Amino acid sequence: MLRALDHLEEWLIAFLMGAATLVIFIAVVHRYSSNIPVPAFQDWLLTVHVGWAQELCIYMFVWMAKFGAAYGVRTGIHVGVDVLINRMGAKNRTMFVMFGLLAGATFTGIVGTLGVNFVWHMSQTEQVSADLEVPMWIVYMAIPLGSYLMCFRFLQVATWFWRTGQLPHHDHGFVEGIEEVTNEDIIPYNLEDNLHPLNVKQGDRQ
């Protein structure tokens, strides 16, 4: 169940990011292509309306940011200043880390609940977006959904930390799909710049 939720979260973020990039690209190409002085081609492009592209991209980036924040909690990618925390003893460190995680869960839970109330009242109106004419309550659903997911991730991390004493850590130098380089992958030549520190005999250098 949790693995399915993880994959859904990742696929949603990736889809929104890719779709927003594609929509922006199409809108930019359309704008500059409309200035090409080819009568038939220019007349056809002017009949194609893409004024909705900017609004759609804004909404997709809002959804991506809300779910991306929850993903950041799960993977430990959020930036934090933990110099003082790491200098504490084990007991005090556990207490402060748990307080921070539970405070995050409380805050996002409150935001999610307020978001539900806001979306409910918005759904009772007929307010729609300016260009897409989409009901605004659908757009604002990103607030409760993203906030509640982030609250769940805080509680998930807090539970894991309480059981193991470890927090999720993201290695910014890691790229998925690229294997980590080991000593066996390095060409065994003792170069002058000392990039390859393995020692080999002179007769092996061919």
Residue 12 token pair = 């949603």
The helix, strand and coil proportions of the chain, stated in percent and rounded to the nearest 5, come to 65, 0, 35
pTM across the whole model? 0.77
Scanning 76-189, the segments in alpha helix (DSSP H) are 83-86, 90-123, 136-139, 142-164
Q: How does residue 174 score in pLDDT terms, banded at 50, 70 and 90?
A: low
The per-residue pLDDT for range 86-97, each reduced to its tens digit, is 888 888 989 999
What is the chain's length?
A: 206
On whether the CB atoms of residues 33 and 77 are closer than 8 A, the answer is no
Give DSSP secondary structure letters for 37-67.
--HHHHHHHHHS--TTHHHHHHHHHHHHHHH
The per-residue pLDDT for range 2-48, each reduced to its tens digit, is 889 899 999 999 999 999 999 999 999 988 888 888 888 888 888 88
CA distance 114 to 109: 9
pLDDT value of position 82: 79
The per-residue pLDDT for range 151-168, each reduced to its tens digit, is 999 999 999 999 998 888
Q: What is the dihedral of CA 50, 53, 54, 55, to 10 degrees?
A: 110
